[in-house]
Amino acid sequence: MKRVFVGLSGGVDSSVAALLLKQQGYEVIGVYMKNWSQDLPGMPCPWKDDFTDAKRVAVQLGIEFKVYDFEKQYRQKVVRYMLDGYKAGFTPNPDIVCNQEIKFKLFLETALEDGADMIATGHYARIFRGRSSENQKREARIKKQEVPHDSYFMPHDTVSLATAKDTNKDQTYFLYRVDAYALSKTIFPLGGLTKNKVRELARKAGLVTADKKESMGICFVGKVGIKDFLSQFVAEKPGNIIDQNGKVIGKHEGAVFYTIGQRHGLDVGGGLPYYVVGKSIKKNEIYVTTDLQDKKLWSNRLKLTSPHWIGREPKKSEKLIVRIRHQAKPIPVKLLRQSGSHGWEAELQDEVRALTPGQSAVFYAGSEVIGGGILI
């Protein structure tokens, strides 16, 4: 019987993931990852409530329950990454880094050292496992006695990440930086289910999290907006808001708090709405426009850094689609090529609005996630 350590967050998704694995005959151990416990002014951290709910679910399911304290590593790997990114003028995605560094690296490593065979989470995604084409060819040659039996074999198991059945809940955008080894040690029990079905299963089992609302905001921090969170670590620094004609039309609270395409929070009254089309951290200026067709807002070219491909690099002639943000409309990529030793470029079939440096572009071949990179 395989031992599976399930990340119990205190929500309904991870609760049902644990439920399903137990029903399927695995030895299930629930693990609450304590990644953040700091209260912010007027915004208490919900970790104690989430911890309590996770423990209550473990009791209901009759499974062992553990707590892994990753708070120090979370600050170093996720919070520091986010703060450094914003200070440099980017808009980083902490959820993607949390998956890469905490859930599918630190949690996986700790669980395996603690006796786990696999880990599982409540993510909406699917993992396909199969035999490598290299092995299939080699085995065919062995049967024909063309090569000896002790010839070198590639690993038998290959894995690929694929989109979930529930396209509205699919979370593969946030998982594209998880490596193939981690995926080979991971189970996503909810990949073939809809959110409504998950709720139904939770209610049928009488789980205390069955009707719990979904958490929003920064991963593990709770219902906290990015600006509110950043304000605790970055001092406000008023500067000028400059329109498309070069005119100063107002003041902002600090260039680090604004992102490309942003409309709300500019506090520039009257007339047409303004959209952020650029910013200068050095000058502490925000550049805006009232023209939704402004060329600075639209582009059909992507430039990427820090590429991560799950199993293979994309082929130049391969038909791919790309998402530039979670649940964004997938767009066909007309051309994808390597640019230098650490970057890639892609030409899109359609122009898209508000390409945001620091965010990720994730490439798909049908339902398979090939990988992606950071927009620059």
Per residue in 79-107, pLDDT (tens digit) is 999 999 999 999 999 999 999 999 999 99
Predicted local confidence at residue 149, as pLDDT: 38
Q: Which CATH number fits domain 3-125+163-204: 3.40.30.10, 3.40.50.10490, 1.20.1260.10, 3.40.50.620?
A: 3.40.50.620
Instruction: List phi, psi (to 5°) of 240.
Output: -85, 145
Q: How far apart are CA 43 and CA 30, in angstroms?
A: 27
More confident residue, 64 or 230: 64
When pLDDT is cut at 50, 70 and 90, the band that residue 151 belongs to is: very low
- Between 130 and 278, whose confidence is greater? 278
What fold characterizes domain 297-375? Elongation Factor Tu (Ef-tu); domain 3 (2.40.30)
- Measured CA to CA in angstroms, residue 89 lies from 77, 176, 192, 267, 352 at distances of 19, 23, 39, 20, 21
The third-level CATH classification (topology) of the domain covering 235-289 is: SH3 type barrels. (2.30.30)
* Contact yes or no for 254/237 (Cβ under 8 A): yes
Active site residues: 98, 219
3-state secondary structure of 101: helix
**Can you give the pTM of this predicted structure?**
0.90
| Concatenated DSSP letters of 177-203 | TS-HHHHHTEE-TTTTS-HHHHHHHHH
Of the candidates 293, 297, 264, 292, the one whose C-alpha atom is nearest the C-alpha of residue 278 is: 297
Q: What residue ranges in the chain does DSSP mark as E strands?
A: 3-7, 27-34, 64-69, 118-120, 126-131, 157-162, 186-187, 239-242, 248-252, 275-280, 285-289, 298-309, 320-323, 331-339, 343-353, 360-365, 368-375
148 has pLDDT over 50 = no
